[in-house]
Structure formats: structure tokens, C-alpha cells
Amino acid sequence: MEYLTYRPSPELESLINLYWSLKVPKQESHSKQRIIPDGCIEMAFILGDDIKRFTSDGDFILQPRAIVIGQIVDPFYIEPVGEVDTFAISFFPLGFSNLINQSLDDLVNKETPLDQLFDSKVIGILESNIIHADSTQERIDIVEAFLLERLQENQVIDQVIRTTVDAIYKSSGSVKIADILGDDKGSRRRLERQFKRHIGLSPKQLGKVIRLQAALSLLLDTDPQSLTKIAYSSEYYDQSHFIKDFKEFTGITPKDFFRSDEMLLSSKFYK
């Protein structure tokens, strides 16, 4: 398995977390993989064989070849059917909202074909250029030109939203919204609506995802701590609270994380 990450250009570094590429040789069989949410929205191009996304225990769809994967709040399972060759762009929570006017709440827990979000002829050319590029760097250059042309400089995102997202990240997800807005219920309701539109999650959901990521980094450490220490270090009330949130997003407990072949891909991504 070859997983590589790349930094965006300075013009897009406020919107894009990173670019990544993943290559896995064709095997006789691939195991189903659980994808852990990280608060980011991804634009992905499937260059290898098809990838299944399971809609239930036995049912699945084949993911389109050029997609946007919205915020994930439920256990999310995929399975390659052969060779894996994927190039993707990981956007910060507010990054993708600068490119489209559609509410990002519409994209949650699913993959949306790119040609449903942008002009289909333009996407056809973009996808062809990505497929025929000779290197990942060339793909990055192609995508950045596309994104810069569509960056909506007049897209107004309330400063309160930006401040709240910053506070959530700086506190690793533990900040309380009341500490930012006080007891103004009207402001909290407006913030909830704006978060759903521009991020796809509520402030509370984003906080839970970011806190889970902080705990996951400790869980994947070369010298892992006990679950109790990880829970308190990540600002959970106790170990039970940590296990409950972990299971909510992944479908399994932290202890099962290392025992499951379904977590091989996620452990590679987040280590």
C-alpha cells in the first residue's frame, strides 16, 4: 500500500487540508474497510478499479469515478474490487463551501458525482485530464487551476462561523458553544443553520469528530496509553464517554480497532 500526501499551493492553503494519493495492488480479495470521519469533505478521482460503498450489510453501490464525499456522521464502509489508484483533495470544514452555493447538508453520508455539482462538460474535461496526467503533481496543478477558476470570492461566510470552527480546532473539539455565544438561543439556532449549510455538520457534531481525531492520534501512537488516559487527555468525561462516541462514528469499540482488518485503511490514513 502506497499512501502519499501533498501540500496545496499558498493560494488554496486556507481551503485545502491536503492532497493525497493511494495505490494498492490488485489482490485476490479485499476486505471491507471502515472510514472514520475527520471533519473534512473530499473530492476524489477513482483511477483504478471500481470501489463499492455499502448501503447496508449486503447491499452496495459502485462509487462514481469523480465524486465529492460529504461529511460522514455514521459508520461508512467501502471495499475495492481490484487495483486501488485514487487521487483526492481533502478540504477543511469550510473549504468546499467557497466553491458551490448548494447546502453541504445535502452531501452528508454519501458520494455525489462531480457533474451534479459543477457543469458536466467542464467536469468531463477535468476528469479526462486527471486520468491522462503523468504524475500526481500534474494532477494537483490541473485541480488547482479548476478550483481557482471557481473560487467564489464573494461567498460570504459569517465571521462567527469561522471563529467557532477555529475554537473547535484549537480546543481539539472540547469547547462548549455556550462559551462562544453565551446564552443567546437565537444566535445558537442561527449558528446551527449556518453550520449545516456551510459545513454539513452541527457545531456539536464537528466538535465530536475533531475530539475523536485527537483521541485517535493517541490511540495510534507508537506508545499507546490506556483508554482511560486517552479519554481524559482528549477531554471526554470518562472512558465510557470515549467508547460511546468512538462506536457512534465507527460502529466498533476502540479495543476492536486494532483487531479488525476493516480498519487497515483508516489506520494508514490517520496514523
256: number of CA atoms within 13 Å, CB side? 9
Q: Is residue 118 part of a domain?
A: yes
pTM score over 0.85: yes
User: How confident is the prediction for the chain on average, in pLDDT?
Assistant: 88
**Sheet of 16-24, strands arranged across:** 2-6, 16-24, 84-91, 41-46, 66-69, 111-113
Domain count, the chain: 1
Residue 121 maps to a domain: yes
Ramachandran sector of residue 182 (left: φ over 0; alpha: ψ -120 to 50; beta: rest): left
For helices 203-219 and 159-170, the axis angle rounded to 10 degrees is 30
Residue 128 lies in a domain: yes
Residue 44's H or E segment, with its range, is strand 41-46
Q: What is the residue whose three cell numbers read 474535461?
A: 125
- The boundaries of the domain holding residue 53 are 2-150
Q: Report the CATH number at residue 56.
A: 2.60.120.10
Residue 26 lies in a domain: yes
pLDDT in tens, 65-79: 999 999 998 878 899
Structural domain includes residue 90: yes
> Is residue 188 in some structural domain?
no
Measured in residues, the chain has a length of: 271
Q: Is residue 111 part of a domain?
A: yes
pLDDT tens, residue by residue, 124-165 = 999 999 999 999 999 999 999 999 999 865 566 788 899 999
pLDDT of 91: 97
Q: Establish if 7 belongs to a structural domain.
A: yes
Query: pLDDT: is 180 or 147 the higher one?
Result: 147
Q: Edge-to-edge, what's the strand order for the sheet holding 33-35?
A: 33-35, 76-80, 51-54, 60-62
